Amino acid sequence: MHSKLLNQIKNIKHSFGTKDDPIPKNFKSLWHLMPKWKQTHSTDITVVHKPNQSCGEVDGLYTSQKATPLAIVTADCVPILLANKIGDKVAALHAGWRGTKSKIVFRFLEFLKQQGEKPQDWIAVLGPAIGPCCYEVSKDLYDEFEKTFAKNSLVSPALTKKENHLDLPYINFCELKQGGIEEIEILRCCTRCTNSFFSYRKGDKGKRQYSCIMIEQTEQ
Ligand SMILES: [Zn+2]
């Protein structure tokens, strides 16, 4: 599955995995170049300097290196792929409820500025994740989200609000917008109810899909 917004950026290759294609076809032959990383629902982000780098425990990857693929693995959590508009830097973030609540997006935007980048030069895509149709949480957790985020950012106004349901893609969308990223796409595909993705909530324990991005090697 692809994003129209990312497709517009030259020299960037990306794909969001699905149940039928969990390691996207266009990244299979590049798999030996993937960094090694372990997601722990943290807000830790690392710079990938070379293919196959050992990154330890991180939930965000960033690179300016060509032919150095990045990926995030999910099964209901939100995969976020980002690139700058000239296509010479990319990033991938993992935002489940923990990462969202501890503001991995805010942390990433701070990190971008430390790299000398401007958020308005970047675009972001929120990939397939559990939607507000299916993502019911406990009253306590819902209340915590209400305390942490603006009330009107908990569910997209375009979608139906249900009691104690959260819209993780939209919460992260609002964080990205607020942080200065203007062009953002939400791929609205609920992993739980569309049947096209692995979903932890649906019972696909241990089965997940990869969302991948890479700056392509260009001809000299
Ligand atoms: Zn759903």
Ligand 1 midpoint to CA 118 (Å): 34
Ligand 1 midpoint to CA 134 (Å): 4
Enter the tokens of residue 200.
């932890």
Enter the tokens of residue 65.
């290196």
Query: What does 69-96 look like in DSSP terms, one character per residue?
Result: -EEEEESSSEEEEEEETTSS-EEEEEE-
Output the pLDDT for position 50: 97
Average pLDDT of adjacent 10-residue blocks, the chain of 220 residues? 96 97 97 98 98 98 98 98 97 98 98 97 98 97 97 94 97 98 97 96 94 88
d(CA 90, CA 65): 9
Ligand 1 midpoint to CA 195 (Å): 9
Output the pLDDT for position 220: 58
Ligand 1 midpoint to CA 30 (Å): 32
Ligand 1 midpoint to CA 105 (Å): 23
Domain limits of the chain?
A: 4-215
Output the pLDDT for position 218: 81
Ligand 1 midpoint to CA 130 (Å): 6
CA 89 from centroid of its chain's CA atoms:
15
d(CA 114, CA 46): 12
Ligand 1 midpoint to CA 172 (Å): 17
Q: Are 215 and 66 in contact (CB under 8 A)?
A: yes
Output the pLDDT for position 106: 98
Query: What does 114-168 look like in DSSP terms, one character per residue?
Result: HTT--GGGEEEEE-SB--TTT-B--HHHHHHHHHHS-GGGSS-TTS---TTB--H
* pTM (global) more than 0.95: yes
Q: Are strands 36-38 and 54-57 parallel, antiparallel or unpaired?
A: parallel
d(CA 82, CA 125): 6
Amino acid code (one letter) for 69: P
CATH number of the domain at 4-215, out of 3.40.50.2300, 3.60.140.10, 1.10.10.60, 3.40.50.970?
Answer: 3.60.140.10
